Chain A
């Protein structure tokens, strides 16, 4: 479909109708992370907010997508400061995703004379790899910022993993084949990852449990660090990475021979737990 099927226009801040729909779209796309309250703060209360920099895409008069931009002063070298557009959130109604609406919104933004008259020298956006490939790469000739920013991270508790375990237990209950597989599992595993709290998992026919029991009763002890765990979470080349981690002793698995065999047999379950968002 062409972009003409989804005409774009500037946000109408006066009637409150657009705002309501945009908030719904954003909440749907980003879940709790961008609830209505967060949208109000991020855009409406932002000292740089300019409603003319919000665009909506429509289908038969119904708003089905939106994009946000903010005009900011940005230093780009020791002595050069420019006016720049910061790309904000793009959201599209679930039933219309994958039809080029994000691209239409980006093109609308670039073609609008009102936008050009703002006098910005550049645009910059923080993107995830999917959006970069499906939306930005198709529309704009961009370069990666030569940034040296790094993120430091420390896990304080396994709260997210506990939630994940509950979800996995719920899922397995409805899958007969895996439930049968689980009935033969009975194992206690202690994860000792450097600089994070210990994680003690009990796997048995009732499911998985993040245990508060005595870690000394563990059948298998896994010693590693979060970076290695993050690498092993990637599906691509997992076997190779696993062997490499074992050989370089970045991952150590200790236990009796029988327990190690049981650990190997229940590896599908451990994979399932760690495959989701746990940090």
Chain B
């Protein structure tokens, strides 16, 4: 019997019964499905394919197959949580189905990860989780985990017209009913790889982004950092006007522009598991 494939733990509490086992060839289909289901709601999500997951987890130099733990629901045999644990002490991915008993699943996975890491001689255990995940927070407090600062992630927009076009497209229906404007955006001191002007046109006929417009109804002068901060929800449109980071012509169109920029803002929570860091 292959020990690595033996169920190593079983827990029954309430109506759910879960068991813990290590990775088996072919499990990646269920694991990738679970990862995508759980993480797709976050900004920063890098969609997993089987090929990508195999590279990212299974073939990672510090990961052995007996370091990938899965929690299986006894009722139907489905994988409801998993952790990819590297011998370096990093839990590269930790993921569970929130419709199940997260408390039990996360406890099982972290307990197992810690005992595995002690066995292989790692000195610590580290993993990432979204701040708002109360289940993980509660379990970590119970198990004596500390919170550490995460590596800083920085974003640079390469192509504003394309980015704005994608945002407009995703909010098209709402924007078309609320606005009828041609907005010219002009960047001060834009670096050479960024076009310093582009326009946004919204009407009942549709939305579009382009290089020039015949007669803009609003002209905006700003800088690359302010506009990036506005799009990613770091800065509110009102703050940017009050700090004189955004100049609007004609002045009486300021309120319309603020409403438009508020609609364009992306406010999804960002999260990245350790496996996406490198």
Q: Which residues of A contact B (CB under 8 A)?
A: 37-38, 41-42, 45-48, 72-82, 85, 88-89, 110-111, 116, 119-129, 132, 136, 140-160, 194-196, 225-227, 279
Contact = CB atoms under 8 A, between A and B. Distances in A.
Interface stretch (B17-25, B72-80, B212-220, B262-270): B262-270
A233 B157 CA distance: 37
Chain B interface extent, by class = 35 or more
Contact of A143 (B40, B136, B154, B271): B154
Given A78-B41, A89-B278, 6 more contacts: A77-B43, A127-B152, A143-B228, A150-B128, A150-B147, A153-B146
A106 B272 CA distance: 24
Interface string B131-152: 1100010001001111111111
Contact of B155 (A111, A145, A227): A145
Nearest 6 pairs between A and B by C-beta?
A195-B144, A77-B266, A147-B270, A75-B45, A148-B131, A145-B153
Contacts of B162: 82, 119, 121
Interface in B87-125: 89, 114, 117-118, 121-125
B124 A149 contact: no
B223 interface: yes
Contact of B146 (A79, A127, A225): A225
Interface hub of A38, A75, A88 (most chain B Cβ within 10 A):
A75
B127 A151 contact: yes
B208 interface: no
A14 B153 CA distance: 33
A117 to B, nearest CB: 11
A116 B192 CA distance: 12
B42 to A, nearest CB: 7
Interface in B160-174: 162-163, 166-167, 170
B118 A124 contact: no
Given A45-B55, A74-B45, A82-B163, A146 B154 contact: no
A165 to B, nearest CB: 14
Interface in B253-278: 266-272, 274, 277-278
Contacts of A140: 156, 191
Given A110-B191, A123-B158, A147-B271, A76 B126 contact: no
Contacts of B277: 126
A238 to B, nearest CB: 19
A47 B234 CA distance: 32
A147 B234 CA distance: 10
Given A37-B61, A77-B266, A141-B223, A151 B155 contact: no
A151 to B, nearest CB: 4
B225 A124 contact: no
Contacts of A144: 152-155, 234
Contacts of A48: 52
A257 to B, nearest CB: 33
A148 B271 contact: yes
Given A72-B46, A73-B46, A75-B42, A150 B129 contact: yes
Contacts of A227: 146-147
A85 B158 CA distance: 9
B157 A121 contact: yes
B268 A77 contact: yes
B180 to A, nearest CB: 23
Given A143-B225, A148-B130, A127 B151 contact: yes
Nearest to B166: A80
Contacts of B154: 124-125, 127, 132, 136, 142-145
B51 interface: yes
B60 interface: yes
B59 interface: yes
Interface string B56-88: 000111000000000000000000000000000
B61 A38 contact: yes
A255 B162 CA distance: 66
Interface hub of B89, B127, B151 (most chain A Cβ within 10 A):
B151
A153 B126 contact: yes
A143 B225 CA distance: 6
A141 B55 contact: no
B44 interface: yes
30 contacts: A72-B46, A75-B43, A75-B45, A77-B266, A81-B47, A82-B162, A111-B193, A122-B156, A124-B153, A141-B156, A142-B155, A143-B156, A144-B153, A146-B233, A147-B44, A147-B150, A147-B270, A147-B271, A149-B150, A150-B129, A150-B148, A151-B126, A151-B128, A152-B126, A153-B148, A154-B124, A154-B144, A158-B123, A195-B144, A279-B124
